Amino acid sequence: MSEKRQLAILWISTLSVVAAIFFPVRQNLSEQAPVVSGVISSLPVVEEPIPKRIGEGDNLDLEAPIALAIDLNSQKILFEKNIDEFWHPASLTKLMTAIVVLNTVSFDEVVEIEAVDTDVAQPKMGLVIGERVTVETLLKGMLIASANDAANTLARVVTGSPERFVDLMNLMGKQLQLNNTRFKNTTGFDSDGQLTTAWDLKTLVFEFLKNEKLASIVQIDSTVVQSVDGGRRHWLTSSNKLVTRENILGVKTGFTEEALGNLIILAQDHGNQILTVVLGSNNREAETLKLIDWVFSNYTF
């Protein structure tokens, strides 16, 4: 492991200790106690017009057990449903995987694929043992196509093992005050104790979107990436079916048998941006669009 990477990992660990001292976790996930919403720390508070509800409006009925819509500028909650209820994150986990990678290695670092990287369930981007690719290529595979082989590779490159990488994910979670989130793997596979909340996911996405390169990757509908020698190509298609829409700016999908359909979306209308989180839906795209339409129809910005 390079000295630069060791220093980056030490930096994450140090910041997490400081966060634990000055911002102690108010809830213990294992206790399953009532949750108190965390503090938004990822984006600076700016003086922006606060959205106002248009009259009483119609109440929104979503089948998804958990949903949240929040104005990106003022951070005002526009819709909420069980936003502190624990849920399986599925591949939304990869947002944290990307954040840890961002803080430990450079995008242009070249990585050689090993057998352990490809020994994982679908979806995969089709990495081949011995192939050499950049970290940026792996991030694209993980965030666009939700490729598990890319996530596996990134974890190995940063810390040498998935277990050690997960430790970094949870340390970063403490730093970001994700007080009700615990990670057990880098991909989002269902695992006992791997849980989060819509409120924590909102904070996680705010941190993710602060990096322009990551924010631009999750807006890509489809692309082709290749090995550094140009010998192999990988066609990536976004798992996010809504990203082709003009008013959608990313962000990420997730699905497992326990989580069902999870979807986080950044949407805009006439320059006004909102973030939506829908968890546990049998029709995540339709319900997300329903939520977005309801917000822009029932609020003035």
Instruction: Please tell me whether residue 195 adopts helix, strand or coil conformation.
Output: strand
Annotated binding site: 252
| C-alpha span between 180 and 28 (Å, rounded) | 7
Annotated binding site for substrate: 252
- Asked if residue 225 lies in contact with residue 234, where contact means CB atoms within 8 angstroms, the answer is yes
- The count of other CB atoms within 10 Å of the CB of residue 250 is 24
Catalytic (active-site) positions: 91, 94, 146
In this structure, what DSSP letter does residue 182 have?
B
Q: Which contacts (CB < 8 Å, 24+ apart) does range 80-85 have?
A: 80/198, 82/198, 83/37, 83/197, 83/198, 83/199, 83/277, 84/34, 84/35, 84/36, 84/37, 84/180, 84/197, 84/198, 84/199, 85/35, 85/197, 85/198
Tell me how far CA of residue 122 lies from CA of 18, 142, 152, 175, 188, in angstroms: 38, 12, 12, 31, 12
Q: Which residues of 78-91 are buried (b: 16+ CB within 10 A; e: fewer)?
A: bbbbbbbbbbbbbb
Please calculate the CA angle 81-84-87 and round it to the nearest 5 degrees. 90
